[in-house]
Amino acid sequence: MKFLRNVLATLVGLFLFFGILFFGILIIGAVLGSGSETVMVKDNSVIKLDLSKVKYDYAGKFNYKDFNYKESSPEGVSDIINAIEVAKTDDKIKGITIINNETMLGISQRRAIREKLEDFKASGKFVVAYADVYTQGEYYMNSVADTVYLNPVGALDFKGLATEILYMKGLQEKTGIKMDVIRHGKYKSAVEPYLEDHMSEANREQTTVFLTSIWNTIAEDISKSRNIAIDSINGIANHLSARTPQKALAVGLVDKVVYVDEFHAGIKKALGVAKDKDYNTIDVLDYAKSAANDMKPNTSKNQIAVIYAQGQILSGEGGVSHIGEGSVNRALKKARENDKIKAIVLRVNSPGGSALTSDIIWREIELTKKVKPVIVSMGDVAASGGYYIACNADKIFADPTTITGSIGVFGVLPNFKDVATKFGVNAEVVKTHNLSVGYSPFQTLDPENRAIITEGVEEIYKTFVERVAAGRNMSFDQVDALAQGRVWTGVDALENGLIDEFGGLEKAIAYAAEKVEIDSYKVVNYPEYEVNFEDMLRGFFGASILKTQDELLKEKIGAENFELIERLNYFNQAKGVQALMPCEINIQ
């Protein structure tokens, strides 16, 4: 045994040594590479708007503490928008092409890029789009182009919006796995699929309202770009009148039905490039890097801090894909104590999550507001816990398509007693007091424990509503009438007083500067995520393996069954009471 222990210790030591060596080489390579890498922009160039790698508003800054090394990634929506802004006045850039673009972006993110492309066109430069097949979301963004091209044997998906929600009451009854749910809010449909086998009227009402509101904004934008009446836009969607290239051309959703070589030939002609030559192109992410490096240093001492809070609200440090109090509160404190920073814009793109973490961040915003203004800019979604951390800002900006509100809380307790009994597992309890056991997944939730948990949920709901009431200068009853877990779009949120004004991140930054009366300023992005060696090992060896397992499992059991497992797994792992919007919303 001693020999085996020594062998094991040696193997672990070697593993750690080579792991440290490997990551050390990576870090050194990154440092050396970042210093020498330059992106050249040639004369008479065209930007390729490839957004396939862009997912978040903010791609992040990372501090690898164990290696004393920092890096940032210029792959966020904010970087794309900045690149298009710079390209507008860059004499080397003549236009932008969007070719077979596939993105993971939400509607509000696409709308922000769309508006920036519209602004780019105003400079006299061209924007052209081509696709073999347009999904509805891609067509929405691409419809802003001067000329929209479609492959002669391609297709255009244009049919309006829908969402499909999976109900799992029957699955629970068949498997014996049950979810004990304690909630406040008749609209808190994040947990409805565990309680019912069909959609409630309250959920159908709110879903219909926000889908219709989002569609109206999309239809209005396309109507303006394509010069087609909104009634005609709706008629096209109702009858699938653009489903083939020829039909799409006939109804005016596209301008030309050609092959991609003909598309490129047209660009060559516009640029004055010979038919047998290639025209100069640069990928938008490369241009974003070039724009960031080549911009003249801003000598102003004044700064506006933009702090990104994106993803579900969990606990701990947080990261690019989820919000934790560690990185967000550290950023708020840093910005608050930095005399150069005159105002703060909190960019929220979150469906919510942990009620406790939301309140911890809310408190840090309260402390910050006493020192300097905090303005909120809402992205695709700022709902439930996402609204919680936004409600006390000095001013709130949102897009008309932003999903927000969902002021409500719930708790979900997985119960495996029936399925355990079915397989011959019996849990016996020994206790010293009546409630010593508390919650156990192998025991039926007794009425007294349920009452205590319900009391906690109600208390958090009351606190949530009070936070909103104080932040929005409304009465408790006014907020309660808008709450109950109901989801609103930006359009309805403005009407109901949950936000102050329509506008994207740029407008929020401009307002922040105006509020503190500065004309010249530099924008600095936060947070900076702290990454230690253990996180790096977990990310490198764990996340990649788990991703592969997920993909294999999805192929084996199918996407819908995989989604059921993922939802069950989330609520099994969620800690404490949740302030989370209906996470089953998937707009198609």
The set of catalytic residues is 188, 384
Distances in Å between the alpha carbon of 314 and those of 130, 196, 392, 459, 481? 40, 27, 20, 20, 28
Distances in Å between the alpha carbon of 587 and those of 114, 163, 212, 474? 19, 5, 11, 31
CB burial class (10 A; 0-12, 13-18, 19+) of residue 438? exposed
Tell the residue number behind the tokens 């004309």, with chain if given.
519
Nearest to 581 by CA among 189, 185, 57, 169: 189
Residue 74 DSSP label: -
What gap in Å lies between CA 313 and CA 359, rounded to an integer? 11
* Phi, psi (degrees; rounded to nearest 5) at 489: -90, 170
What gap in Å lies between CA 209 and CA 219, rounded to an integer? 15
Read off the amino acid at residue 351: P
- In terms of DSSP bridges, do strands 69-72 and 61-64 run parallel, antiparallel, or are they unpaired? antiparallel
Q: What is the DSSP string of 382-436?
A: EETHHHHTTTTSSEEEE-TT-EEE---EEEEEEE-HHHHHHTT-------SSTTS
What gap in Å lies between CA 254 and CA 129, rounded to an integer? 10
Residue 358, sorted as left (phi over 0), alpha (psi -120 to 50) or beta, turns out to be alpha
